[in-house]
Structure 1
Amino acid sequence: MPTPPDIDRLAQLAAPRPEYDGGAGPLAVAPKVFRDELAAAAEWVADYLQEIPQRPVTRPMPSAHRQAMAAGSLPQEGQDLGALLEFVDRAIAPYPTGNGHPAFFAWINSPPSPAGVIAELLATAVNATCGMGEHALMDLERGVLRDLASLAGLEPTAGGVLTSGGSMANLLCLGTARTWFLRQHGVTDGPAYDQAHARLVAYHSDQAHMSVAKAAAVIGLPPWRLRAVPTTPDRSMNVDALRTMVDADRTAGLLPFCVVSSLGSTATGAVDPIEEITQVCHRSGLWHHADGAWGGLGALVPELAPSYRGVAGLDSLTVDPHKSLSVPVGCGAALVTDPSRLRDAFTFRASYLEGDQDWPWMSDYTIELTRPGTRALTLWATLRHLGRSGVAALLQRHQDLAGYMRQRVREHPLLDLCTSGPLPVVCFRLAAHPEAGRQGKTDLHTAVAARVQARGHAYLATVSHDGQTVLRACVCNYLTTTDDVDTLLHEVLAAAEHLQTVY
């Protein structure tokens, strides 16, 4: 493990600053110095990404280092640019979350695509504010959103806005659903609005991502009016239960307005029945939003396509390109079949911001006014690098690796496969162990996961499954191979053997 850097020493690599031209202001840098530092940074990035598979998946951060980083240590005098690269190399890079490593199977976090890395730098240099005014990156965003909607199988009318991720996209879509519903009922302001808003009810699967509950809270929906619909044994939403709950709430004088389905639950990769839920929504005048942050593009995969029948009938869909497509972190999408409804919810006017109504500013579709252009360019670059066939092949590769892992688990006498899928996540347990899933004291699966993580050769997570804690591994890294899957299972079994004397 590398020696923790002396943060103060790194911060003091400031003087002298030969690249500073005092006549141009304190941020100015001589062109030659800037080019040299950019070149050095590019070399470092290329080496760093190339060497990730040979490094530990993750390393624990020493307490002293964490405290020093969090304390802040701004020196009186500025530092030269060369200190930045040394700081990142010694203080940041040695302590990754692990999601860049091909043996990382814990959360749905992918490594950055090569095209995305380059595009991020270029977009940062252009530094567009993609919320107001005119800029080519805003028009590029409109086009790449159409591409994304087409990949998802939505209607040709679909559009939307790029977001920081699925949490923001879910928030925008729930806010849009609320505005649409209240407009449908002619209550957009005043006491009538307050009275109607106090009766709004939304529904989601009991496997829904926590961001759905967060979004509901932000738009003013208290927990008691957010219904968790039970699921069937395959972890998909029970549509009969949904129908019963909607009817009961309407009878009670409440106003059901939105159903949020899951296209790839985080826990097990379950996909809710889209067509049947849409039928319930149409019958009762509800908005159907699907959280497909992870699995929103699953219709492109032949084995998944049957589960995505009816996706074109959705009112809105969340997709996270920084998950399944390896676009660098910070790129989600809120897609709406009728984008004008998104704009109805989030357009506000100010005398100092008068946009072109024929080409609306992207801030009209979201709560953000200042928006980075990196999202549009990194997504565009990654999609153009892949092409439509490459997107399908990437998603199929994830499916194939998960299938390989399931088969290995089935074949091993010490492992049991749990219900999961159809997306590329594998939940499994240690077979026939009396203490394997007990709650209370740290159970065996939690201890096994912790030991695997600490050893640094692979990384997986745990999840609650039928009241027990089990092991959970998902595949979303384009660098992952069957060798990495074998390494993971070897590490799990070795950890279990080591811990068997404790349990």
Structure 2
Amino acid sequence: MSEQPLPPNTVPFDSLDLDAEQFRSMGYAVVDAIAAYYSTIRDRRIISESGSRHIAEVFEEKLPQSGQPAESLLQEWQERVLPHVTHLGSPRYFGFVNGSGTMMSVFAEALAASVNMNAGGWKAGPAATEIERRCIAWIAELIGYPTDCGGLFLGGGTLANFSALLTALRNTVPFDTTREGLQTDRRRQKLVLYMSDHEGHISIVKAADMLNLGREAIRRVPSGDDLRMDTRALEAMIHDDRQQGYLPFCVVAQVGSINVGVVDPLEDIARICRQEGLWFHADGACGAVGAMLPELAPLYRGLEKADSVTLDPHKWLYISYECGCLLVREPERLRRSFSISAPYLQGSLPTDYKGLDYFEYGPQMSRGFDALKVWMTLKHWGREGYQQLLRQNIQCARHLHQLVEASPDFEPLHRPALFIYSFRYFPAELRRQAPQQPLEEYLDQLNQRMADAITATGFAFILSSKVKGHIVIRLSICSHRTTLEDIEQVFARLHHLGRELHAEGEPGSRHLQS
């Protein structure tokens, strides 16, 4: 095929970069905009007033054919983007489990972007590699895990759990899944893993999907009244599955669960996994970092025995998105699960420019320099700073529990173990009625409407969930900016909304208010 001619050059070669003075001016303006944002973050509506159709229309535009001045892009940020963001950094953002974003993360993201290192391999990112390796050891030390472990940063809890389960699979089952795959004509055993029936996280289901194990491969282990995994039931299920010809390979323990923040009985699970030859994975995306608090040590006893641990620095370490983390007790097991070679990855012949290549330890080949924001924030706050912030969040959750207990119109469903707390509005006059299905349906509707209503005001962002079969109001108090006053204000507004909505009633349910 003949080479096609290029259009004749009309301008000299140009990188289109800003010159130094233009970049400096734009940089100062961006920093000023960010500083102004932080100074007003407590007063901002947390969610946009606009609906999805209007926001889509705001960004409906044709592909630019020619460029526009850099300063105008910052103006567009202020006028088009910022009014339509959800402010996860607000002290009254209580949805999902989203960290609030450290200021050091902002600086780190800018610095990392400036050098544009690929942290996939040592040659492309030597400083990035060594900083990540140091941060992995620091995080392990913080939570009492062996500091000679392997590990890496990933996009979030789902990717971290996927990587952990693949590592479990490839180091536990008695055949080579790397070369042969999960099944062959000679082998058709069904692989199974275990997690709590109530508090097991959906990311484990997604990881099982991604591994093509099938969702039925996840065995839901009954939990007790405290919503922790029943380990006697676990042992019985493993025995029954083996009797039926299944191949168990992993148990997933929750370390700070998504609805109530419970920690499964880690020591018992570790013992069972050791006896049964199973991989012990601790899903600590939400709560593993709480192990850095000495007063919570009994809760986390046994975490150090896990074969792998996942945690999300972008949750309770407050790092800006995205930043998940996987720790694996034996680094070689992690490498064996993901290692792959090609001459263009490391060069055809050995050189002195070599070190740890993270593409051999995880699913990504190209990777951003996420470790820098963890490194800078850990150095800025230190262990003591983080301990102070985690204790503040726990104190807020406990204070909320006290407010719920003291009110005749609210019902506590658990005691907060960490920073997540779920409860429901249950008006005092309805408690005198005999338990009945219409009443429960009405309470579910009422609590859902309350969560939706307070979020719609923009004052707080709250989602509902389900605990012990009830729709509940759930607060994830995962911001380093949240105070006791924030908790009191939100609770007062919830109480007021509950009274208003209950007075209005639901269609077909007014008889419940008599």
Q: Same fold (TM over 0.5)?
A: yes
Q: Does structure 1 retain, via aligned residues, the 8 Å contact 2:208–2:217?
A: no
Aligned to 2:141: 150
Q: Secondary structure at the residue paired with 2:85? A: coil
Q: Where do residues 47-196 of structure 1 align in structure 2 (5 Å cutoff)?
A: 47-69=36-58, 71-134=60-123, 135-182=126-173, 184-185=174-175, 189-190=179-180, 194=184, 196=187
Q: Does structure 1 retain, via aligned residues, the 8 Å contact 2:309–2:328?
A: yes
Q: Does structure 1 retain, via aligned residues, the 8 Å contact 2:135–2:374?
A: yes
Distance 1:273 1:245 in 2: 17
Any idea what the Cα deviations from partners look like across 1:433-491, whole Å, max 9, x if unmatched?
A: 47997448970001111111111222222111222211111211111011100111111
- The residue type paired with residue 170 of structure 1 is N
Any idea what the Cα deviations from partners look like across 1:398-449, whole Å, max 9, x if unmatched?
A: 1111111111111122222111431212211123447997448970001111
Distance 1:448 1:325, change over 3 A: same
Q: Where do residues 231-270 of structure 1 align in structure 2 (5 Å cutoff)?
A: 231-270=223-262
| Match 1:329 to one of 290, 314, 321 | 321
Distance 2:157 2:414 in 1: 25
Distance 1:152 1:175 in 2: 23
Q: CA deviation at 1:25?
A: 2.3
Unaligned runs of 5+ residues in structure 2 are 1-10, 432-436, 506-514
Q: CA deviation at 1:59?
A: 2.0
Q: Secondary structure at the residue paired with 2:447? A: helix
Q: Secondary structure at the residue paired with 2:48? A: coil
| Match 2:480 to one of 453, 478, 481 | 478
Q: Does structure 2 retain, via aligned residues, the 8 Å contact 1:437–1:468?
A: no
Please report the TM-score for the alignment, with normalisation by the length of structure 1.
0.91
Distance 2:305 2:241 in 1: 24
Any idea what the Cα deviations from partners look like across 1:225-266, whole Å, max 9, x if unmatched?
A: 211111111111110111111011111111100011110111
Distance 1:107 1:436, change over 3 A: farther
Any idea what the Cα deviations from partners look like across 1:381-405, whole Å, max 9, x if unmatched?
A: 1111111122222211111111111
1:369 equivalent in alignment to 2:371: no
Distance 1:430 1:29 in 2: 56
Q: Which moved more, 1:286-295 or 1:151-160?
A: 151-160
Distance 1:437 1:50 in 2: 45
Q: Does structure 2 retain, via aligned residues, the 8 Å contact 1:436–1:445?
A: no
| Match 1:319 to one of 311, 320, 325 | 311
Distance 1:186 1:329, change over 3 A: closer
Distance 1:254 1:23 in 2: 68
| Match 2:490 to one of 475, 483, 488 | 488
Taking every aligned residue pair, what percent have the same amino acid on both sides? 33
Q: Does structure 2 retain, via aligned residues, the 8 Å contact 1:59–1:96?
A: yes
Q: Secondary structure at the residue paired with 1:288? A: strand
Q: Does structure 1 retain, via aligned residues, the 8 Å contact 2:444–2:472?
A: no
- The residue type paired with residue 463 of structure 2 is A
1:346 equivalent in alignment to 2:338: yes
Q: Secondary structure at the residue paired with 1:297? A: helix
- The residue type paired with residue 370 of structure 1 is S
Q: Does structure 2 retain, via aligned residues, the 8 Å contact 1:437–1:469?
A: no
Aligned to 1:9: none
Aligned to 1:14: none
Distance 1:191 1:44 in 2: 52
Distance 1:281 1:393, change over 3 A: same
Across the aligned residues of Structure 1 and Structure 2, the Cα RMSD in angstroms comes to 2.2
Aligned to 1:398: 393
Distance 2:302 2:14 in 1: 58
- The residue type paired with residue 219 of structure 1 is L
Q: Does structure 2 retain, via aligned residues, the 8 Å contact 1:429–1:436?
A: no
Any idea what the Cα deviations from partners look like across 1:344-387, whole Å, max 9, x if unmatched?
A: 010111121127797230111111011001x1100001111111
Please report the TM-score for the alignment, with normalisation by the length of structure 2.
0.89
Distance 1:82 1:107 in 2: 35
Q: Does structure 1 retain, via aligned residues, the 8 Å contact 2:122–2:129?
A: no
Q: Secondary structure at the residue paired with 1:472? A: strand
Distance 2:82 2:176 in 1: 55
Distance 1:66 1:132, change over 3 A: same
| Match 2:212 to one of 206, 220, 228 | 220
Q: Secondary structure at the residue paired with 2:83? A: coil
- The residue type paired with residue 361 of structure 2 is Y
Q: CA deviation at 1:69?
A: 4.8
Q: Does structure 2 retain, via aligned residues, the 8 Å contact 1:103–1:457?
A: yes
Q: Secondary structure at the residue paired with 2:461? A: coil
- The residue type paired with residue 163 of structure 1 is L
Aligned to 2:19: 30
Distance 1:293 1:140 in 2: 21
Q: CA deviation at 1:23?
A: 4.1
How many residue pairs are counted as aligned between the two chains? 481
Q: Does structure 2 retain, via aligned residues, the 8 Å contact 1:452–1:459?
A: yes
Aligned to 1:44: 33
Distance 2:232 2:115 in 1: 52
